[in-house]
Each structure stands twice: as C-alpha cells, then as structure tokens.
Amino acid sequence: MIDPPVAQEAYNQLADDYAARIDSKAHNAFYDRPAVLSLLPDVTGKRVLDAGCGPGAYAEWLLDHGAQVVAVDANEKMLAHARERTGDRAEFHLANLNAPLDFLADASFDLVICPLVLDYIRDWTPLFREFHRLLRPGGVLVFSHGHPASEFFLYYADGNYHEVEQVSWEWTGFGTVVTMPSYRRPLAAVFNPLIDAGFVLDRVLEPRPIEAFREADREHYDQLMRQPGFLCIRAVKP
Ligand SMILES: C[S@@+](CC[C@H](N)C(=O)[O-])C[C@H]1O[C@@H](n2cnc3c(N)ncnc32)[C@H](O)[C@@H]1O
C-alpha cells in the first residue's frame, strides 16, 4: 500500500506562511539553501526535477540560472505558490513521492533535487530507485534532510536510534503553529537506500550557517555552529 503524504494536513495549514517566509526564515535562507546550492553542478540548459518543490524558491533559482524545471509536490497550496512565484515558467505536477512517478520518462533528467522533503518519506529506497530511473547516466541527485545525529540525540532520544520512527514536533517559526509529523532515521537508513538504488556517493556536507543567519537568529546560529542540523548529500548515477 502507498503511504499518503504524512504531513499533508500540517502543510495545508502552513503553506501560506511558509511561502511568505521562505526567503527570510534563517534555517531555509541562510542554512539549507546555501548548502544545497553549493552542491549543485552548473544547471544551465539542464533538465531538473525539483521533487517536493514547496512554494518554489528552488524552482525559481533554477529557472533564473538557465535550467528547465519540472516541479512536483503533494500539496496543492504549495504548488499554487510555486506557480505564482515562477510565473508558470516550470512544469508542475501534483504527486505523492511515495508513489511511482510514472508520468515522467526514464533517463529524462540531468539533475534531481529534493531539499527538506525526505523527512516526510518513511522508506527512501523506492523513491531513490525512481530518481535513479529518471536520471541520465552521469546525472546528479542532491538532497537535504534532518541530520540523524541531532534528530535523535537532541530531539527524540527516548526512541530507538536504530529504527525509522515517526515523530512530531511543534513548529512555531513560520507564524502559524502546527504539529509537524516526520520520520527520523539512523545514518544507515540514509546511505543504504542510496547504495541499493545504484547511486555513488559524491559529497557529504554537514553545513554551518552562513553569516547572515547570525543577524537573523543568534541563538540558533550559535547552536548550529556547534551541532549539526541538516545533512546534505550529492550522489551520482554512474
Ligand atoms: C519543508 S518543505 C520543502 C520545500 C522545498 N523543497 C524547499 O526546500 O523550499 C516540504 C515539502 O515537501 C512536500 N511533501 C511532503 N511529503 C510529500 C510527499 N509524500 N510527496 C510529495 N511532496 C511531499 C510538502 O508538501 C512540502 O511542500
């Protein structure tokens, strides 16, 4: 059975505030985005899948840097924001990443990005197999997600590190307060699905926030300078 999107209700509540703050919220603008963008190859003229595009900040960046973009998200409100933001310059699909992406052809992408989305996917192997199918040989996958060390030792240490566990957290940083469900996992459940899907690991980044984060949120800046928050990975289809 295919899992429905676990955070659909939370993102229905959050979509407008998330879209309004995506350019200034420190964890996105000054931590995740510079880290993920630093892992991208030259995107000029490349066909890129933005998997879990949210309100379209990455899609817009990719378009502005000369890529052709296909963007997918399970949330209609997020897609509406992404369409508005990019002026329909990208191709958009409403789709659940827990299901096969049958509407996309084999070996039709040069790059797949999936920033801050895999936290909502319980089993990564089928999705990584889909990404592998969609990429041309030499194609690149870049993704980011909650770091397994901080997720367990800082937030959910009463669980079992070795298991993939559904957890939830009260998000307050986007204005609307929502209970956000996600999955935390051990490090092995990050790398083995990649290997099983046929990817070769190319780069691992445990980013530190950029300087602008300090101005925006001093407390979390100091924390992230000492402790991991997100894990960013680049892998290649040989
Ligand atoms: C934290 S936001 C990240 C958005 C964007 N990648 C970014 O970094 O700005 C997570 C996004 O993943 C989407 N999402 C969560 N589960 C999904 C699923 N099963 N299939 C497709 N999209 C999903 C949500 O709707 C939301 O837009």
Query: What is the CA 103 to chain-centroid distance, rounded?
Result: 21
- From the CA of 57, how far away is ligand 1's center (Å)? 12
* 141 occurs within a structural domain: yes
Cα–Cα distance, 64 to 59 (Å, whole number) = 9
Average pLDDT, the chain: 97
Is 0.75 topped by the overall pTM? yes
In a domain, 130, yes or no: yes
Full domain range(s) for residue 231:
8-236
Mean pLDDT of 39-58: 98
Q: How confident is the model at residue 149 (pLDDT cuts 50, 70, 90)?
A: very high
Q: How many domains does the chain have?
A: 1
C-alpha 55/C-alpha 51 separation (Å) is 12
Mean per-residue pLDDT, 160-187: 96
State the CB neighbour count (10 A cutoff) for residue 68: 16
Q: Is residue 77 part of a domain?
A: yes
Q: Which residue has the CA at smallest separation from atom 1 of ligand 1? A: 116
Residue to mutate (ligand 1; options 30, 62, 73; most atoms within 8 A of CB): 73
pLDDT grade for 234, boundaries at 50, 70 and 90? very high
In a domain, 122, yes or no: yes
Ligand 1: which residues within 6 Å by Cβ? 5, 7, 11, 22, 52-54, 57-58, 73-75, 78, 96-98, 115-117, 120-121
Ligand 1 atom nearest the C-alpha of 8 is: 25
* Atom of ligand 1 minimally distant from the CA of 97: 20
Distance 155 CA to ligand 1 centre (A): 21
Residues facing 24 on adjacent strands: none
Q: How far, in whole angstroms, is CA 55 from its chain's centroid?
A: 12
Decide if 216 is inside a domain: yes
* Backbone φ, ψ for residue 33 (5° rounding): -65, -50
pLDDT for 88 beyond 90? no
Closest residue by Cα to residue 14 from 225, 171, 136, 191: 171
CB-neighbour burial class of residue 24 (10 A; exposed 0-12, middle 13-18, buried 19+): exposed
| Mean local confidence (pLDDT), 213-223 | 97
Token code pair at residue 216: 């925006």
* Region of 229 on the Ramachandran plot (φ > 0 left; ψ -120 to 50 alpha; else beta): alpha
Rounded to an integer, what distance in angstroms lies between the CA atom of residue 16 and that of residue 159? 32
Confirm whether 3 is domain-assigned: no
Ligand 1: which atom is nearest the Cα of residue 4? 19
Residue 200 in any domain: the answer is: yes
CATH code, domain with 200: 3.40.50.150
In a domain, 1, yes or no: no
